[in-house]
């Protein structure tokens, strides 16, 4: 159950194997830094760090003639001591847009994320006096504006979305689309209702096993983004939709043995992937709410803002959504405060005679 399930054990092992393979491609100076973070950082995060550091060292290799005859693993620590802040700024420009060789383009948010492990690498060696200077101190990261325009659905749009799944109503479909939707109607409705009614992440939804559900108390055990286990509760409506799917469509599928415990199956009997859940959300959303770009994360936004609107309890929202830092929730749902402020614009009218 939860993080002790075969699915999560297999997932964790696969991530560790992949991480070790990536570390083997890095110079020892970078491998030491990654090893130092293994006990405090999730493997998935370290895998991203490895990819970003590999990009940096490949950049150095192609832009520094003294390194071109060396393999990545042979790049010495002394290289870091010779780099200046100007070199790091040049690398930022390379990340922003490169048209020579491996073409790529990144926005400010992506650049800031890719620079994070590089900043950590320099700080790691500077603190241990392995390098005499830290040029990253003088490098400014891109400024990221906080976006208060949270994309979410209102109650009418939520009902329209669920109605498209449940009744194929209000939108044109080809005969092929209608037949396919009929085969997975109860599953798709269960997924959408569960995500809209609990705010779980798409990865948390994908990882659910049937025995993670306790219908006696309407609860489910999920594994959070950081690997921790949590228990969430759901409504009687969600109970009914899940039970309807489990007793009908799911019961008719013969799953692959390894995926048999999964709650949500594909038509082929596999555990549904993150990509397949994202596709079904986008497909139905395009039919019901074509003027908004709805993704699984927007379902989460819809639930979080609705919960905050109903309760006014930001700590409850943070707890249910699994935000380790409440500031994440405060920043994310700051738009709700703007809505309250806008209500003040017409709340007071001094010309009214009853005042």
Contacts of 109 (CB under 8 A, 6+ apart): 142, 144
User: Is 299 contained in some domain?
Assistant: yes
Q: Are residues 175 and 132 part of one domain?
A: no
103-112, 167-176, 180-189, 258-267 — which is least confidently predicted? 167-176
Q: pTM of the prediction? A: 0.83
Please give the pLDDT value at position 203. Answer: 95
Domain span including residue 192: 155-333
Please give the pLDDT value at position 345. Answer: 59
Please give the pLDDT value at position 338. Answer: 59
Please give the pLDDT value at position 44. Answer: 92
d(CA 86, CA 147): 30
Please write the tens of the pLDDT for every residue from 73-127: 999 999 999 999 999 999 999 999 988 877 889 998 899 999 999 999 999 999 9
Contacts of 299 (CB under 8 A, 6+ apart): 192, 195, 196, 199, 281
Are residues 348 and 163 in contact, defined by beta-carbon separation less than 8 angstroms? no
Mean pLDDT of the chain: 89
Are residues 292 and 153 in contact, defined by beta-carbon separation less than 8 angstroms? yes
Please give the pLDDT value at position 180. Answer: 78
Binning pLDDT at 50, 70 and 90, where does residue 354 land?
A: low
User: Is 79 contained in some domain?
Assistant: yes
Q: Are residues 126 and 273 part of one domain?
A: no
User: Is 350 contained in some domain?
Assistant: no
Q: Are residues 279 and 187 part of one domain?
A: yes
User: Is 68 contained in some domain?
Assistant: yes
In 3-state terms the chain splits into helix, strand, coil percentages (rounded to 5) of: 60, 5, 35
Please give the pLDDT value at position 334. Answer: 63
Q: Are residues 122 and 174 part of one domain?
A: no
Please write the tens of the pLDDT for every residue from 233-287: 999 999 999 999 999 999 999 999 999 999 999 999 999 999 999 999 999 999 8
CATH classification at residue 321: 1.10.443.10
CATH classification at residue 111: 1.10.150.130
Q: Are residues 165 and 262 part of one domain?
A: yes
Q: Are residues 52 and 124 part of one domain?
A: yes
Please give the pLDDT value at position 332. Answer: 61
Q: Which segments of the chain are extended strands (E)? A: 97-98, 104-105, 213-214, 219-223, 229-233
Please write the tens of the pLDDT for every residue from 300-336: 989 998 898 888 888 999 999 998 888 778 766 665 6
User: Is 147 contained in some domain?
Assistant: no
Q: Are residues 159 and 115 part of one domain?
A: no
What is the percentage of the chain residues whose pLDDT exceeds 70?
89
Binning pLDDT at 50, 70 and 90, where does residue 176 land?
A: confident
Q: Are residues 101 and 51 part of one domain?
A: yes
Q: Are residues 88 and 210 part of one domain?
A: no
- Total number of domains constituting the chain: 2
Binning pLDDT at 50, 70 and 90, where does residue 351 land?
A: low
User: Is 102 contained in some domain?
Assistant: yes
Q: Are residues 229 and 259 part of one domain?
A: yes
User: Is 145 contained in some domain?
Assistant: no
Q: Are residues 201 and 121 part of one domain?
A: no
Please give the pLDDT value at position 336. Answer: 61
Nearest 5°: CA angle at 317, between 280 and 238? 45
User: Is 150 contained in some domain?
Assistant: no
């Amino acid at each position: 159950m939860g993080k002790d399930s075969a699915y999560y054990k297999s997932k964790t092992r696969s991530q560790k194997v992949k991480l070790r393979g990536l570390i083997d491609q890095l110079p020892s100076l970078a491998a030491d830094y990654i090893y130092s973070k293994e006990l405090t950082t999730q493997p998935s995060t370290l895998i991203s760090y490895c990819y970003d550091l590999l990009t940096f060292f490949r950049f150095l290799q192609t832009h520094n003639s003294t390194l071109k005859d060396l393999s990545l693993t042979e790049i010495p620590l002394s290289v870091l001591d010779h780099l200046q802040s100007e070199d790091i700024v040049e690398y930022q420009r390379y990340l922003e847009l490169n048209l020579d060789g491996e073409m790529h383009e990144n926005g400010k948010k992506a650049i800031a994320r890719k620079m994070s492990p590089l900043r950590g690498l320099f700080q790691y060696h500077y603190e241990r006096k392995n390098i005499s200077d830290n040029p990253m101190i003088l490098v400014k990261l891109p400024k990221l504006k906080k976006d208060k325009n949270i994309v979410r659905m209102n109650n009418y749009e939520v009902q329209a979305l669920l109605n498209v799944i449940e009744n194929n109503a209000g939108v044109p479909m080809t005969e092929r689309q209608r037949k396919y939707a009929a085969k997975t109607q109860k599953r798709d409705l269960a997924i959408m209702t569960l995500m809209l009614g609990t705010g779980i992440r798409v990865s948390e939804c994908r990882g659910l096993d049937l025995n993670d559900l306790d219908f006696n108390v309407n609860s489910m055990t999920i594994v959070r983004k950081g690997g921790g286990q949590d228990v969430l509760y759901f409504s009687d409506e969600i109970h009914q939709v899940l039970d309807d799917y489990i007793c009908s469509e799911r019961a008719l599928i013969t799953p692959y043995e390894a995926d048999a415990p999964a709650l949500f199956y594909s038509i082929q009997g596999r555990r549904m992937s993150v990509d397949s859940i994202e596709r079904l959300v986008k497909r139905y959303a395009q039919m019901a709410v074509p003027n908004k770009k709805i993704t699984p994360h927007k379902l989460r936004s819809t639930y979080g803002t609705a919960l905050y609107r109903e309760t006014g309890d930001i700590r409850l929202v943070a707890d249910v959504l699994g935000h380790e830092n409440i500031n994440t929730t405060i920043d994310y749902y700051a738009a709700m405060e703007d809505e309250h402020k806008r209500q003040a614009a017409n709340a007071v009218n001094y010309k009214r005679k009853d005042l």
